């Protein structure tokens, strides 16, 4: 289950219905998906996409997505810091950012045009849709591990456009999930 925080209101949401309703109010889609027991740590991209083919087809039809892939990040990933630095500054995309987390955790900060700035900590079983044009940034949690299915309307549209607002520097990337508490690294691009 995701954990949603509204830092400026000192508010934390952990209830599924409350989270879904709150996020809908700031334009963010949130769903819980059942994770089959059969998903193993060593499952290949093809096996994972096949396992979720029904759900992926459903999402493709609902959101006009044409392709899906699996991103798999761990501390052993080459150039991990450089990869993360691309997305830990406030940015937006010309297409939706749709992520279904299979393993690990991640922290989205959403900066709505209307509504409070919101941190969404996702974990396995969480599907999130950040609509195109939404200002946001993303960090990993302390174990720097995430495996997620990504859906694309057009992969070229997923290039980040930076707002250069600097707002991201005012919020710590603190995850509240089990055993992960880590601040954003001090060195920023
Ligand atoms: Fe993004």
CA 136 / ligand 1 centre spacing (Å) = 6
Least confident of 35-39, 68-72, 160-164, 170-174: 35-39
Q: What is the pTM of this model?
A: 0.90
pLDDT tens profile 130-152: 999 999 999 999 999 999 999 99
Structure tokens at 42: 């060593």
CA 47 / ligand 1 centre spacing (Å) = 26
Q: Which among 176, 170, 129 is positioned nearest to 20, based on CA atoms?
A: 129
Q: Which among 27, 48, 171 is positioned nearest to 96, based on CA atoms?
A: 27
First to last CA, the chain: 31
CA 140 / ligand 1 centre spacing (Å) = 13
Q: Which residues are found with C-beta within 5 Å of the ion, ligand 1?
A: 97
DSSP alpha helices (H): ranges in 97-149? none
CA 112 / ligand 1 centre spacing (Å) = 14
**pLDDT of 182 higher than 60:** no
**C-alpha distance from residue 160 to each of 2, 28, 90, 156, 189 (Å):** 24, 18, 9, 10, 15
């Amino acid at each position: 289950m995701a954990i949603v925080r509204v830092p400026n209101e000192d508010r934390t949401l952990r209830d599924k219905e409350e989270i879904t309703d709150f996020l809908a109010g700031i334009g963010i889609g949130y769903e819980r998906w059942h994770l089959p027991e059969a998903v193993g740590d060593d499952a290949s991209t093809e096996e994972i996409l096949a396992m979720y083919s029904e759900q992926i087809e459903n999402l493709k039809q609902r959101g006009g997505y044409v392709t899906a892939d699996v991103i798999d990040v761990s501390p052993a990933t080459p150039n991990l810091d450089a990869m993360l630095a691309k997305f830990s500054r406030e940015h937006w995309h010309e297409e939706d950012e749709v992520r279904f987390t299979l393993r690990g955790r991640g922290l989205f900060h959403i900066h709505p045009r209307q509504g409070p700035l919101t941190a969404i900590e996702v974990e396995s079983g969480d599907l999130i849709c950040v609509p195109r044009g939404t200002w946001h940034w993303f960090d990993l949690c302390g174990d720097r591990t995430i495996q997620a299915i990504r859906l694309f309307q057009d992969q070229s549209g997923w290039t980040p456009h930076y707002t250069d607002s600097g707002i991201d520097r005012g919020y710590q990337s603190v995850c509240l999930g089990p055993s992960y508490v880590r601040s954003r690294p001090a060195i920023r691009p």
